[in-house]
Amino acid sequence: MKLVFATHNQNKLLEVKALLPKSIELLSLDDIGCTEEIPETSDTIEGNAIQKANYVSEKYNVNCFADDTGLEVKALNDEPGVLSARYAGPDKDSKANITKLLEALKDENDREARFKTAIAVNIQREKILFVGIANGAISNEERGNKGFGYDPIFIPEGYDKTFAELPLSVKNKISHRAKAMHQLIDYLK
């Protein structure tokens, strides 16, 4: 089965490919010639995932899924949330996002946070939504060089290392994206 993952993000693509069974040929937006920026105008993570999946399936007539992920920090009233990628501005600069978040938490003792991923699936006109959550906390500084986005400052519950310090094999068992992807994989079976 061919399935399009509505992303240009090669890091996300690699993470997801490692999870999917070999019977599924995963294609990216680049593979189907989609170069435009897909609108993400919803005020929820779930809404953005649905919006992207609908856009790709309708415009390109393909089976696809799209995700949206947000980091929700309790002490910041669940910010950055749906604005996680653009927290420090429209450039989607991960380093600037991390700097802004750590600055916002510099005098805060409550570092509780969670990553949430929503995956919207459009296969043969059937539409389904899966949500995965990884609870944890924000570190005081960046640690590790693996992963992407907020991984260098997110410590998953039950661990003392950030996502960026953990091997991909571990992250792919406990992350928000992995949890949502496992629901997708079960559905595809």
pLDDT at residue 14 greater than cutoff 90? no
* pLDDT above 90 (res 21): no
Q: Which of these is catalytic: 31, 68, 78, 160? A: 68
110 is catalytic: no
Cis peptide before 80 (omega within 30 of 0): yes
Indicate whether 15 pLDDT > 90. no
pLDDT level of residue 19 (50, 70, 90 thresholds): confident
Gyration radius of the chain's alpha carbons: 16
Q: Report the chain's mean pLDDT, rounded to a whole number.
A: 94
pLDDT at 1: 87
CATH number of the domain within which 179 lies? 3.90.950.10
pLDDT at 159: 97
Report the candidate in 162, 109, 113 with the shortest Cα–Cα distance to residue 137.
113
**Given a cut of 90, is residue 82 above it in pLDDT?**
yes
Q: Which domain holds residue 156?
A: 2-188
Give the pLDDT confidence of 131-172 residue by residue, as tens digits: 999 999 999 999 999 888 999 999 999 999 999 999 988 998
Total of domains in the chain: 1
Please tell me which residue, 22 or 48, carries the higher pLDDT value.
48
pTM over 0.85: yes
How deeply is 6 buried, as exposed, middle or buried, from its count of CB atoms within 10 A (0-12, 13-18, 19+)?
buried
Residue pair 145/107 in contact by the 8 Å Cβ criterion: no
